[in-house]
Structure 1
Amino acid sequence: MADTKKVVIVTGATSGIGEAVVTAFGAAGASLVLVGRDPERGKRALRALENVGCVATLMLGDVADPSFADRVVASTVGRYGKVDVLVNSAGTIRRGTAVETSDEDWRQTFDANVSGVFYFSRAAVKAMRGTGGGSIVNIASNVGLVGCTNLAAYCASKGAVVLLTKAMALDHAKEQISINAVCPGAVDTPMLVSAHNEPVTADEILQRNIDSIPQGRVATPSEIASLTVFLASKEARHITGVAIPIDGGFTAG
């Protein structure tokens, strides 16, 4: 269970894992700043939180813009007085081998998946230093640990997130800032079946993923959110610099 009254920024907050993370922190009593790009999804997410009595605000922009990251953190501190937790959940996927990956696909993947994590984490650390510490949880991927076919840019970007997590955890451990990565495998979100070039159905893609997982199922977004909330809790304060697979045993083989 997360500590109540935390102030939490979540990027990629309006869909998939990010939306589940927002719901979990909201249920634990946190004040939330939702970061996203889609105004309609953002408004729906805000309404859902307001309906359960959660204090939340929405900021729209591009996570790969360093000035936007600075504005979000500054606004959060101005409104709530602090930042306790940052969850970097925003991300994108481009499928293909290195030969099939265009320059633009490579750039967009790293902008969203790596630069966004870096800019928001840098801004959050500066704020957390002034209030005695905090927690950063980066949503990486198990394919940033072991690799995967047909995902060259995505694997490289998530591997970068894992090592950025470890480097920053070492740099800021004495400042009581814990920094960890959650590494999901296949999760039942729209991203799982997106951006496939081959003519396959969503059901076929889902079954293909299920067949590759020792537990025989894909994760739910709420399972990823539960681990994320735990890593930001006081019970996990001695955990830092780790990248935890949550993939039904996929990386154990």
Structure 2
Amino acid sequence: MDRQTYDKKVHIFGRISVTIFMLGTVLLPLTLFLKFGILPEKAAFFAGTSTVLSIMILVSLAEFLSFAPIIGSAGMYMMSITGNTANIKVPSSVAAMEAIGIDPATEEGEIISTLSIGISNITTQIVVLAGVILLAPFGHLFQNPALKPAFEQIVPALFGALIISSVVKNWRLSIISIVAAVIITFIVSQPFGTNLSNFTIPMTIIASLILTRITYNMGFLTPLKNVQDTKEYTQL
């Protein structure tokens, strides 16, 4: 199967799957309306919808621009349906490609990414089912306030373990994104509280691009001329 045929089939099955998922999502509220005549109040509905859309439009756009080149089109379709983008799917994809030594944004990388995300979906369902069955008797233990800080650090711990390998391979390029994230988080987002915290990812991406261009003009980053230069550069 050539690349054009593969991409065509991915988009066909992806669009069909996402459409079915969207219809299934609205099936319950539609059933409640048609069967029982239950509707939310207009003011509450539009207030809630506008709040969610104002956040999710930018966040979804940022995730698409930042994650799609890494995980590929098939992975994006699966993540659109199953969720857990930042805390499971992307780490699984990145870890699989790094373990095999394949670069993102390549045909081989997209295949490995698709397989890893698919396997992570299956694994997640198995783990969740097993967790519900086996850990239900111990649920009260996980509600202990002493454990709350540990659960809040799960996602940072995952990304910290992933980013350290990128920093070691290419510290010059990685340090720019880290500096941008620190600036946005501690100087812009935190002083304004939750009003801007949901826009941290889009603002960090924009700041990273701006800082990368500035440091490139200053000579901190140099262009790569060929594959050999790329290998040498990643070993700096």
Please give the TM-score of this superposition, normalised by the length of structure 1.
0.30
When Rg is computed on C-alpha atoms for both structures, the one with the higher figure is 2
Q: Which has the higher strand share?
A: 1
Please give the TM-score of this superposition, normalised by the length of structure 2.
0.32
Q: Which has the higher helix share?
A: 2
Higher RCO (C-alpha 8 Å, min separation 6) = 1
